[in-house]
Amino acid sequence: MSAADLKLRIEEMLRIKVSISADPLESNSICWIGILVEEQIQRLAASVSTELRELEARRAKLQREAAAAGARADSLRAEHARAAAELQRLRVSAEQARLAQIEATRRDSPELAPPLQILSTLPPNRLSPINPSSELHCHTYSPLTGADVDGFLKTTLRQALGYNAHFTRNPNEACIYLVLVGEAFLSEKNHRVVSTTERHTLFLNESALKTLPYWGGDGRNHILINLARRELSVGSGDGFYGFSTGRAIIAQSTFTDTQFRPGFDIVTPPALGPPGGDVWADCAPIAPARRKYLLSFQGSQPPPAAHAQDQDDFLIKFLQKTVSSAPASDLFFLQFECDPPTERHALRAIGDWALCGTDRSRGGILRDSTFVLLLAPSDRSYVSTALMQARLYEALRSGAIPVILGGDRVKLPYDEVLDWRRVVLLLPKARITELHFLLRAIPDSDLLAFRRQGRVLWERYLSSVQASVDSLLALVRTRLNIPPRAAVPVTGTPGFNDSYSPPKIETASAEAEPEETLGPIEAPYPSPGYRRNFSLALLHGYELWNDWGEPFMLYPQLPWDLPVTSEARFIGSSAGFRPIGKGAGGSGKEFSEALGGDRPREQFTVVILTYEREAVLTAALARLRGLPYLNKVVVVWNGRSAPGEAAPSTWADAGAPVVVVRTARNSLNNRFLPYHFIETEAVLCVDDDAHLRHDEIVFAFRVWREHRDQIVGFPGRYHAWDLNYNNGFLYNSNYSCELSMVLTGAAFVHRYYLWAYWRVLPAAVRDHVDDRMNCEDIAMNFLVAHISRKPPVKVTSRWTFRCPGCPVTLSADETHFHERHKCIQLFSQIMGLPLLSTQYRADSVLFKTRIPHDKQKCFKFI
Ligand SMILES: *[C@@H]1O[C@H](CO)[C@@H](O)[C@H](O)[C@H]1NC(C)=O
Ligand SMILES: *[C@@H]1O[C@H](CO)[C@@H](O)[C@H](O)[C@H]1NC(C)=O
Ligand SMILES: *[C@@H]1O[C@H](CO)[C@@H](O)[C@H](O)[C@H]1NC(C)=O
Ligand SMILES: *[C@@H]1O[C@H](CO)[C@@H](O)[C@H](O)[C@H]1NC(C)=O
C-alpha cells in the first residue's frame, strides 16, 4: 500500500469515527466501534512507519546506486579519453611508420664500397730521375704511414707513433715512410740517419739516404723528420743543407727560402715538450689580460755576419727610445745582452738572437709579459729557425702573446692548416715605429682571445712530441683529404648476457602522465653516421684545426654538421624530414605529430648512472614507458655486485630496449663513456632519481635539436665570485637570474662530447672526479663551454629536483658544497675558466600566449 493510499484510508476511518460518535443513541455500541477504530488506526500508523522506514532505506540504496553509476560514467569517460589519446598516438605512430617505410623503399643510394688502398709499389718502381731544380715542384700523392726510429728521440717518437692510429709496422702496408734524422749529425761529422723498416744505422751522406730500402730512387713517399731539441744554443739548423733529398718531404724547424718548398715541406716545432700526456701544469693562467710588462725581450745579439742583411741595431735603438719615452704605466723588460753572457756559437751566424738564462728564468719573465718580442733572423734567407720556433713555443706556453718583427717573411709551424693570425702579431721590421701604438690599441677581450687561441694551438699541436708528430701526419693526411681513423667507441660489458635478461613487468608509473600526445612511438632509429668522411675536412677543415681542435679523429657525427636549407627540404632533399603539418605548420596537434625543425628526424638515448639501487632504477625505467623518440636506455651499472644479484629479478619495462653495462670500477666518469650501445647523437644523461615528466623531456629534446653543441637541460647552477676572499669562484645552486652550468643529472648532450670528455679534457680533471667522487657534471660543463664557447641552455621552469639520494643534513650539505667549490677552483687552474653566463631559458613558443579556444598550444603545461 502506498503512502497516499494509507493516508486516504486513515482519513476514511476518522470520518467513520466522527460520524458514529455524532449519534448519542448508539453511543455504547459506538464506543466499542470507536475502540475498534482506534485500534485499527494504531495498527495502520505502525504499518505506516514501517513502510516509511523501508522507503527511506530504498531511497538511500537508490542514491548509492546513482552515485556508483555516476562514478562508472566518469571512469568510462576517462577511459574513452585515454583510448582516444592512445588512438591518436597509434595513428601518429602508424603515419610515422608509413613514412619511414616509404623512405626505406625509396632509398636508392647504392651501397658504397670503400676505395682500394693505394700503397706504394714494391719493389720500388723507378721514376725518371728528377734534377734538383725541379724538386721544387714535388707534390705528395699517396696515403700514410711510417716506421720507427733510432737515436735519442727514438723512444719518444716510437711511443708517439704507437699511439697514432695510422701507424703500421708492416712496410708493405705503409704508404709513407718516416725517417728520423738524428740531431747528432749536425754537430758531429758522422751524420746519422736511421731508417727503420730495417733497423740499421746509416750515415747520412747522400748515398746512404739513397740506399734506404724503400727510397725508390727519389725518396717519394718519404718524410725526413729532423726534430730539433734542447741543444738549441748549438743550434739545430738545416739538417739537409746541400743534400739532394729528391721527392722526399722534409719536416724540420729550420728552412731557407730557396730550400723550403711551399705546400710540400713542413715547418715543425722543436721537440721541447714532454713525450705526451697532460701539459697544463706548464701553462700560465689566461687572466689577467694585461700583465706586469707590456712587452719583453731577452736575447743576445748575434755577431755581425756576412749574410746578415737586416740591421737589427736600428731596432734596438728604436726600442730603447720607445721605452724611455713611454708613459710610466707601460713597463718594458728589454734585455739585449745576456747576463751572464751566452756563448756565441758559430751557428748563430744565421742571425739568431741567442736565448738568455734558463728555462725557468725566461719562463718567469714571459709569464709576466703581455707581449713578447720575437725577431726574425737577420739573415733574410731564413724563413724559420729552430731558435725562433723555440721562442714561439716558450711564449705560447707562458701565455705571452708573440709579436714577430720580420713576421712578413717567416713560416710558422703547420701554417697550412693553423691560422696563426689569431695567435701572433706579425709585423715587418720596418714597421717597428708602429709597434708601441699597436700594442696599446688592443682591447682586453682581444688580448684574451689571442692568448686563449695560442694556448689551444700550443696544447693540441705543439706541446709534446706526441702532439707534434700527430699534427705532422694529420697535416699530410689533410693535404690528401684522407679521412682520419674513426673514433673507437667503448665496448661495454653487458650486465645481462644474451640468453638471460630479467623478466620485465609493466608497472604503472606512480606519477600518471598527463593525457597529452607528445609524439609517435617509433621503432628504434639510430642516427645515421659517417656521412661526411670526405666533405668534412673540405668544408670544415679550418674549424677542425683551429676551433674544435680535433683533426685527428673521425666521428660519426659532430654537433656542427650542416643542416640542409629549408627550401631543399621540400625540393629534392626531403628524406628524413618530418615538417610540422607536412610543411603547412600548425600548433598543438600538428606540432605533436612531427619533429619539424631544420634537422631530419632522430631519436635520443637515455643514459642512466646508477649504483646498486634497483628499486630506484626500476622506478626510473617505469617512468620512461611510452616516451616518444626514445631510442634506447643505457644503464651504467656502477656497482660491485652484478645487476639482478641483490634484489628484485623483475625490472620495469621501459618500452624501449634497455642495456645494462657493467663498469670496470665505480667512477662517476663512467657516465660519459662513449659506449658502442649509444647509437644516437642526442644523449639524455639522467640520475636514476631525477623525476622528469615526458613533456619536459620531449621539449628539452626539441630544444637540443637547435642547440646541438650546447648542454640543454634542467637544473641550473652558476659560479659566483667569492666576495670574502676575492680569489676565485664558488659553486652556487641558489635561485638566480643568471646561470652558467646545467647539471648533467638531467641534460641532453651531443654524443661527440662523450668522446671529447676523454680526449680533450685534461686527465687531471677526470682524476679529481674519481678522487672526490663528485663534480663530473661540473667537468662536463667546463668541457662543453671550452669547446663551444657558449653557455648551456636551461629549459622550462624546473630549477631543481626532488632528490631522494641527496644529502639531507646541513653538515653533509656543507661538505658537498665545499667539494664543489674546490672542483671549480681546481678545474679553472687546469683549464682556465671557460664558463659563460646566460640570463634566459627556453620555453615552448606558445607558452603563456593567449590563443583562440579552437587552437591548442605546443604543450599543455610548458
Ligand atoms: C756514405 O755512405 C756510404 C754507404 O753507406 C758509405 O759507403 C760511405 O763510406 C759514406 N761516405 C761517407 C763520407 O761517410
Ligand atoms: C666513413 O668512415 C667510416 C669509419 O671509418 C666507415 O665505416 C664508413 O664506411 C665510411 N663511409 C664512407 C661512405 O666512406
Ligand atoms: C647468462 O646469465 C645467467 C644469469 O646470470 C646465467 O645463469 C647463465 O649461465 C648465463 N649464460 C651464459 C651463456 O653465460
Ligand atoms: C644561498 O642563499 C642563502 C640566503 O640568501 C645564503 O645564506 C647562502 O649562503 C647562499 N648559498 C650559497 C651557496 O651562496
User: How many residues are there in the chain?
Assistant: 862
The rounded Å distance from CA 405 to ligand 1 centre is: 42
Could you tell me if 388 and 520 lie in one domain? no
C-alpha cell at 676: 658502442
pLDDT greater at residue 99 or residue 199: 99
**Residue 415 pLDDT exceeds 70:** yes
The residues, any chain, with a CB within 8 Å of residue 591's CB and separated by 6 or more, are 580, 858
For position 147, what pLDDT does the model report? Answer: 32
Could you tell me if 737 and 694 lie in one domain? yes
The residues, any chain, with a CB within 8 Å of residue 178's CB and separated by 6 or more, are 145, 146, 147, 149, 161, 196, 222, 223, 225
Closest CA to 673 of 610, 607, 765, 745: 607
Could you tell me if 393 and 301 lie in one domain? yes
Q: How confident is the model at residue 721 (pLDDT cuts 50, 70, 90)?
A: very high
Model confidence pLDDT, tens digit, residues 102-111: 888 877 666 6
**Residue 195 pLDDT exceeds 90:** no
The rounded Å distance from CA 261 to ligand 1 centre is: 27
Tell me if 486 CB under 6 Å of ligand 2. yes
Dist. CA 92–CA 507, nearest whole Å: 24
Active site residue 695: no
The rounded Å distance from CA 732 to ligand 4 centre is: 8
261 within a domain of the structure (yes/no): no
Residue with CA closest to ligand 3 atom 13: 499
For position 702, what pLDDT does the model report? Answer: 97
The rounded Å distance from CA 33 to ligand 4 centre is: 97
Residue among 547, 709, 777, 854 flagged as catalytic: 777
Tell me if 2 CB under 6 Å of ligand 3. no
Model confidence pLDDT, tens digit, residues 123-154: 455 555 555 554 444 333 332 233 333 355 66
Model confidence pLDDT, tens digit, residues 552-594: 999 999 999 999 999 999 999 998 999 999 999 998 889 999 9
96 within a domain of the structure (yes/no): no
Concatenated DSSP letters for 605-671? EEEEEESS-HHHHHHHHHHHTT-TTEEEEEEEE--SSPTTTSS-S-EE--SS-EEEEE-SS--GGGG
Percent of the chain with pLDDT over 90: 49
Residue with CA closest to ligand 1 atom 5: 208
Question: Bridge-partner residues for 687, per DSSP?
Answer: 609
| Pocket lining for ligand 4, CB < 6 angstroms | 732, 734, 817
For the chain, the distance separating the N- and C-terminal CA atoms, rounded to the nearest angstrom, is 64
161 within a domain of the structure (yes/no): no
**Residue 59 pLDDT exceeds 90:** yes
C-alpha cell at 822: 674546490
Ligand 4 pocket test, candidate residues 734, 813, 816, most atoms within 8 A of CB: 734
In terms of DSSP H, where are the helices of 335-417?
359-367, 386-398
Residue 80 CB: number of other CB atoms within 10 A? 10
Q: How confident is the model at residue 29 (pLDDT cuts 50, 70, 90)?
A: low
**Residue 439 pLDDT exceeds 80:** yes
Dist. CA 589–CA 519, nearest whole Å: 10
Ligand 3 pocket test, candidate residues 498, 499, 501, 651, most atoms within 8 A of CB: 499
**Residue 398 pLDDT exceeds 80:** yes
Could you tell me if 462 and 522 lie in one domain? no
Q: 289 lies in which domain range?
A: 280-480
692 within a domain of the structure (yes/no): yes
For position 58, what pLDDT does the model report? Answer: 94
**Residue 209 pLDDT exceeds 90:** no
Tell me if 542 CB under 6 Å of ligand 2. no
Q: Is 517 left (phi over 0), alpha (psi -120 to 50) or beta?
A: beta
Could you tell me if 554 and 675 lie in one domain? yes
Tell me if 497 CB under 6 Å of ligand 3. yes
Please give the average per-residue pLDDT across 9-13, as a whole number.
Answer: 78
Could you tell me if 464 and 558 lie in one domain? no
Which ligand ends up closest to the CA of 554?
2
183 within a domain of the structure (yes/no): no
286 within a domain of the structure (yes/no): yes
How many alpha carbons lie under 13 Å from residue 170 in its C-beta half-sphere?
3
What atom of ligand 1 comes closest to residue 190's alpha carbon? Answer: 14
302 within a domain of the structure (yes/no): yes
The dihedral sign for the CA sequence 687, 688, 690, 696: positive
Please give the average per-residue pLDDT across 785-814, as a whole number.
Answer: 77
Could you tell me if 433 and 546 lie in one domain? no
The dihedral sign for the CA sequence 181, 184, 187, 190: negative
Dist. CA 603–CA 683, nearest whole Å: 9
Please give the average per-residue pLDDT across 81-90, as a whole number.
Answer: 84
For position 150, what pLDDT does the model report? Answer: 39
What atom of ligand 4 comes closest to residue 732's alpha carbon? Answer: 13
Question: In the chain, how many domains are there?
Answer: 2
**Residue 424 pLDDT exceeds 90:** yes
**Edge-to-edge strand list for the sheet holding 741-742:** 729-732, 716-721, 741-742
Dist. CA 608–CA 654, nearest whole Å: 12
C-alpha cell at 265: 715541406
Residue with CA closest to ligand 4 atom 10: 734
Q: Is the peptide bond before 402 cis (omega within 30 degrees of 0)?
A: no
Residue with CA closest to ligand 2 atom 5: 486
Q: What is the CATH number of the domain that holds 426?
A: 3.40.50
For position 183, what pLDDT does the model report? Answer: 45
Could you tell me if 466 and 613 lie in one domain? no
Query: Which strand (E) or helix (H) includes residue 702?
Result: helix 694-704
Query: 66-75, 249-258, 808-817: lowest mean pLDDT where?
Result: 808-817
For position 8, what pLDDT does the model report? Answer: 83
Dist. CA 41–CA 51, nearest whole Å: 15
Which ligand ends up closest to the CA of 735?
4
Could you tell me if 558 and 458 lie in one domain? no
**Residue 436 pLDDT exceeds 80:** yes
For position 143, what pLDDT does the model report? Answer: 29
Please give the average per-residue pLDDT across 177-203, as a whole number.
Answer: 42
Residue 282 CB: number of other CB atoms within 10 A? 14
Which ligand ends up closest to the CA of 486?
2
Please give the average per-residue pLDDT across 659-679, as a whole number.
Answer: 93
Model confidence pLDDT, tens digit, residues 173-189: 778 888 877 543 333 33
- Is there a contact between 478 and 417 (Cβ–Cβ < 8 Å)? yes
Please give the average per-residue pLDDT across 652-669, as a whole number.
Answer: 86
97 within a domain of the structure (yes/no): no
- Is there a contact between 519 and 179 (Cβ–Cβ < 8 Å)? no
Which ligand ends up closest to the CA of 824?
4
State pTM to two decimals. 0.84
Mean pLDDT estimate for the chain: 83
Last residue of a domain, one of 459, 480, 501: 480
Please give the average per-residue pLDDT across 146-166, as a whole number.
Answer: 64
User: Residue 396's Cα: distance from chain center in Å?
Assistant: 25
Query: 155-169, 646-660, 709-723: lowest mean pLDDT where?
Result: 646-660
Percent of the chain with pLDDT over 70: 81
- Is there a contact between 162 and 132 (Cβ–Cβ < 8 Å)? no
pLDDT greater at residue 48 or residue 36: 48
Dist. CA 784–CA 211, nearest whole Å: 51
Could you tell me if 526 and 451 lie in one domain? no
**Residue 190 pLDDT exceeds 50:** no
Residue 32 DSSP SS3: helix
pLDDT greater at residue 228 or residue 816: 816
